[in-house]
Structure 1
Amino acid sequence: MDHKSVARVAFKRTWLEPLPAVLSWVVAWWLLFWLDGRVNLANQALLLVLAAAVASLWLPLVAALLLSLVSVLLFNWHFVSPRGSLSVEGNQHLLLLGAMLGLSCITALLIASQRRQAGLARRQAGQAEQLRSFNDSLREARDWASLGALLQAELQAQLGRPTHLMLLRQEQALPQQNLAESVHWLAASGPSSAADLSAELSADQRAGLWQCLRQAQAFGPGTARFEGQPDWYLPIRGRGAALGAALLRPSRAQAMDAGLLTHLQLLCTQMGLALERLTTEHLAQMARDEAASQANRNALLAAISHDFRTPLACIMGAASSLQDQDARLSPAQRTRLLATILDETEALADMTANSLQLARLDAPGMSLRLDWESAEEIVGAVLRRARQRRATLTSNEDGESHGVELQACLQPGLPLLRCDALLLTQLLGNLVDNAHKYAPASHIEIAARTAQEGGQRFVVLAVRDRGPGVPLAWRERIFEAFQRGAEQQHAAGPDAKARRGAGVGLAACRAIAQAHGGQMRYRSRGHGGASFECWLPLVASPQAEEMPA
């Protein structure tokens, strides 16, 4: 509906509102003339008082009083002797006319008072509903800028005039001096800088906003403070100090409306409480993050102190045997002790690298050393390292040695990766070590291929085996730090030594993948076994950018 239609509807409503009152007076006067001579004068007067009471339900107080006076005079003119004049014969008629006028005026006053109270109740109910709706909107907002925009829109809707807001920046304490850089400015047209706002607000108005913010008190017309000011300055405060201030420019009629001022201040107070709630939630989240970080550090230290104890004991035992009993040891015994020292040292190095990498990748502000790398070279480096460590490393107690079948399966024409090659090498190395631990007698394969999902292309780096796989209940938890599965946590027997660890290898893999914008996934293979996959999103390589169109 356009403005002209709204104006026409308002005009019709203005003229139609007193129509029932006019009809009641018309009916009453028709009955008066019809009953003239049939009933006595006192009964006719009661009919006129009834019409005045009914008309007062729709007429303003002044109009109702004037019509009551005019109706009494007309009643005297037409029905009281001598008729056709305003003179009155006898005290009884004078008393009757006075009673009519008094009853009509008292009735109009009472009905007008009830109408004012009903209007005030409707207004308060509407304001309460607006406060409830505004509070719901504030609960959905998650940042200070959106909260300020909500308050500004609500104030401008209530006042019908431009509104300016000044909000302290989040987690910013009140500065000692009036620094424009420490606050957000919201002009009538939206967020604004201090330089732009100087063109809309005078120096006195900006100083008034700062004064309102510092004192956390309202001032202006009807506030009992600086009432000579033409504008309202309302603090945006919660339970503590003010967090902002609002500048409103009421009209003369609005400046005299105490109820409107109270409602606008309630809106500002709700805003202050919402800002305090948002600050409290932010601080609570920071505390939770700090507690979680501290818990991770404590768990890391506990895991290191527990899982490093066994290899250190083995190293110390082998080294002390070599030192104290070197003359009585055979060459084969010396070789086994040296091999023990080397194996345990490598295990300590792997656990240390994974633990430090996990802590580094979880630290805020961490940045990677990204470069364009070849997936084939990364896989080749992992193969060379794994074969050097595992190709013919292990031997049975009866002297029979065995190797582990390890090979690569790479898709031809793989694109370059924008990555940290050392981290991806560590990721694949961890996966290969895990496969050796939990599927030692199976065929292990390092694969690399491209895939597409959700309209985005990925390079998938995977390590596959034909071992027992991971139980369904543990497939999501295995990528969490210090989670190794119940059957591994209580493992015993000949494989317990090979499977010990702090439980940070897969967690480090997930942290490396997430640091590259990718993710780690577990997939069970169709004919048995497990596939641990790192999905890395593809970005345009320099080769693709340099190719001619």
Structure 2
Amino acid sequence: MSSSTTLSHVAGPGPWRGLPALLAAALWALTAVALAALDGHVDIANLAMLVVLCSALSALCLPLWASMLASTAAMVAFNWALVPPRGSFGVQLPQHGVLLGAMLGVNLVIATLLASLRRRALQAQRLADHAEQARDWATALRDSPQADLASLTEALHDRIRGTLGIEARISSIRLLGTLPRSNDDSGLDTTHLHHQEADSREGLWLCLRQSRAMGPGTGWHDAQPAWYLPWRARQNSHGASRISHPTLTLLPPAEQEALRVHLQSLCDQLGAHLAHAQATQAEQQAREQAQSQSVRNALLAAISHDYRTPLATILSAASSLIEQADRLSPGQRLTLATTVHDQTRQLARLTDNTLQLARLDHPGVQLRLDWESAEDMVGAALNRVRQRDPQRRVRARLEPGLPLLRCDAVLLAQLLDNLIDNALAYSPSEAPVELLVRRQANELVLAVRDRGPGVPPAQRDQIFTVFQRGEAAQGRGAGVGLAVCRAIATAHGGTLKLRARAHGGSSFEAWLPVPDTPAPPSAEAHADTEGPA
């Protein structure tokens, strides 16, 4: 940060001190030597031009008051030493008086113009620095959309100190939610508020509440020794900062106003950024709620549609059994009872899938984990599938030496049942279905393979999405089975993949992580638990 953007020029040495002042003194000394050397060889008018030239050059180094003082002193010394009668402040000829007056007037005009140009250049440089700082601050806010409030507040303080200097003292409060009704700490973040400043808390809260700057030059509580600047956005403020500096009130009104406007713009940029982040978060929450509501509505519509057919079938079969029992043969009654049984099982499976999908999609779901054997889970799945697979199309193949799985056995059983039922439903009646279990590095793969029509490439990315069904699945189920399988695999830290088989069909594979199996208790530990004989 350049010195033109700080307040050091108010309290510290000015630009007329040090090297510039020495340079001006050297110019006047050189001019005095030149006047002495040229005295008697050049007329008095030309000697006066040397004084005017030196006055103009020294005005580049001195402030206005010092330049005027030096020019006046030079004119008096010129009159004493070179204007006849020499050694007095009188003038012998009228034109000499005109010469001295013109010389002094030109010197004063030059000093005034140069001081004005220097002041305007300083203001322009300060405005350029402020604009550059505002651009850098906007870039920093844009490049850190996920930054927390504490780091953003610290960044704002750093930029304010870069403008005012290290002597600046800054305190801030931030809104955590909605604006509190009172000036207590509820709803406010006071991390960057110095607790020893009781009046700062009141001033910051009032500034935040009113969304209005106060302090010197603001027209509101001008007697305050510090500025209170809100972090304004379009609707309200999201925080406020108290900014104090030992030389703040010593600035000229114009410079004080320009500096306050710049600091307010930095605060407003942060307020607009926080408002945008808040709006983005609210929009995201609204979108998620709308999507969740849409999913619930679609789920209810799909369930009601897919419940209707089996319920109608069950009702028809049950009515036939009740009303025509004496006219039905044993075979017909068995057929109707089987229909009721199958359709009821289909309803139960649909209900289980729906409930599990709703449960697993809920954040923070807890699984009932235990160590399970892959062989036991596959055997149980085969026993269940035999009831609906009298042709025994399902064949299992397990790799020897499979590790134990830390899993929820009920959920994995549902995953296997869904994948097997899906393969049986969409495969030719004579085609086999293979259940393969193998280990791949640190994962256990549960694969259900079929020889069905497969899934078109355009639908493979969406096949695990709820309510998505392939072309061959029209009219079959609600489209939640594979979505439940994916949710179960994800809940166990794994993934569910679809791989097209080389000679037709699909392979649905659940890749589950294999944790380290706990070591069995040692013989010594077992003996210790048994105790002495």
- TM-score category by the smaller chain? 0.7 to 0.9
Give the corresponding residue for 1:430: 418
CA 1:327–1:132: 2 relative to 1, 3 Å: same
- Aligned equivalent of 1:59, options 48, 58, 62: 62
| Bigger shift: residues 522-531 or 502-511 | 522-531
Give the corresponding residue for 1:220: 215
- Aligned equivalent of 1:439, options 420, 423, 427: 427
- For 1:178-217, list aligned pairs within 5 A: 178-187=183-192, 198=195, 201-217=196-212
- For 1:139-538, list aligned pairs within 5 A: 139=142, 140-142=144-146, 143-159=148-164, 160=166, 161-169=168-176, 172-187=177-192, 198=195, 201-253=196-248, 256=251, 257-390=256-389, 392=390, 402-417=391-406, 419-440=407-428, 441-452=430-441, 457-489=442-474, 500-538=476-514
| Structure 2 unpaired stretches of 5+ | 1-12, 526-533
Q: CA deviation at 1:209?
A: 2.9
CA contact (8 A) 2:321 2:336 kept: yes
CA contact (8 A) 1:379 1:408 kept: no
Distance 2:20 2:443 in 1: 71
Superposed CA deviations along residues 96-128 of structure 1, whole A, max 9, x for unmatched, are: 211111121122112211211221121112112
CA contact (8 A) 2:231 2:270 kept: yes
CA 1:89–1:547: 2 relative to 1, 3 Å: farther
Q: CA deviation at 1:414?
A: 0.6
Read off the aligned partner of 1:182 and give its amino acid letter: G
Q: CA deviation at 1:404?
A: 0.8
SS at match of 2:463: helix
Distance 1:130 1:154 in 2: 8
SS at match of 2:479: coil
SS at match of 2:410: helix
| Bigger shift: residues 405-414 or 316-325 | 316-325
Distance 1:187 1:548 in 2: 59
Q: CA deviation at 1:220?
A: 3.3
Q: CA deviation at 1:287?
A: 0.3
Read off the aligned partner of 1:242 and give its amino acid letter: S
Relative to the length of structure 1, the TM-score reads 0.81
Superposed CA deviations along residues 34-60 of structure 1, whole A, max 9, x for unmatched, are: 776676544543454344334323332
CA contact (8 A) 1:141 1:147 kept: no
Read off the aligned partner of 1:431 and give its amino acid letter: L
Give the corresponding residue for 1:192: none
Distance 1:145 1:307 in 2: 52
CA 1:405–1:176: 2 relative to 1, 3 Å: closer
Distance 2:163 2:180 in 1: 31
CA 1:355–1:227: 2 relative to 1, 3 Å: same
| Bigger shift: residues 234-243 or 273-282 | 234-243
Distance 2:472 2:523 in 1: 53
Superposed CA deviations along residues 344-382 of structure 1, whole A, max 9, x for unmatched, are: 222222222212221222234433333343333333322
Distance 1:471 1:546 in 2: 54
Give the corresponding residue for 2:3: none
CA contact (8 A) 2:371 2:404 kept: no
Superposed CA deviations along residues 235-276 of structure 1, whole A, max 9, x for unmatched, are: 233223333222333113466433333322222222222221
CA 1:163–1:333: 2 relative to 1, 3 Å: same
Read off the aligned partner of 1:444 and give its amino acid letter: V
Q: CA deviation at 1:507?
A: 1.0
Superposed CA deviations along residues 205-229 of structure 1, whole A, max 9, x for unmatched, are: 3333333333333333443444444
CA contact (8 A) 1:233 1:247 kept: yes
Instruction: Indicate whether 1:543 and 2:519 are aligned.
Output: yes
CA 1:527–1:127: 2 relative to 1, 3 Å: same
CA 1:75–1:539: 2 relative to 1, 3 Å: farther
CA 1:61–1:379: 2 relative to 1, 3 Å: farther
Distance 2:141 2:249 in 1: 26
Superposed CA deviations along residues 179-200 of structure 1, whole A, max 9, x for unmatched, are: 3353222338xxxxxxxx53xx
Distance 1:46 1:263 in 2: 45
- For 1:66-77, list aligned pairs within 5 A: 66-77=69-80
Distance 1:531 1:353 in 2: 23
Question: CA RMSD, aligned part only?
Answer: 3.3
CA 1:185–1:543: 2 relative to 1, 3 Å: farther
Read off the aligned partner of 1:216 and give its amino acid letter: S
CA contact (8 A) 1:213 1:245 kept: yes
Read off the aligned partner of 2:52 and give its amino acid letter: V
| Bigger shift: residues 33-42 or 84-93 | 33-42
Query: Percent identity among equivalent residues?
Result: 47
| Bigger shift: residues 524-533 or 510-519 | 524-533
Q: CA deviation at 1:483?
A: 0.9
| Bigger shift: residues 374-383 or 354-363 | 374-383
Give the corresponding residue for 1:193: none
| Structure 1 unpaired stretches of 5+ | 1-9, 189-196, 393-401, 490-495
SS at match of 1:88: coil
Distance 2:408 2:17 in 1: 76
Q: CA deviation at 1:472?
A: 1.8
CA 1:264–1:470: 2 relative to 1, 3 Å: same
CA 1:252–1:20: 2 relative to 1, 3 Å: closer
Give the corresponding residue for 1:92: 95
CA 1:515–1:413: 2 relative to 1, 3 Å: closer
CA contact (8 A) 2:386 2:392 kept: no
Superposed CA deviations along residues 295-354 of structure 1, whole A, max 9, x for unmatched, are: 111211222233333333333333344444444444433333333332222222222221
CA 1:26–1:378: 2 relative to 1, 3 Å: farther
SS at match of 1:180: coil
SS at match of 1:308: helix
CA 1:272–1:15: 2 relative to 1, 3 Å: same
- The total of aligned residue pairs comes to 504
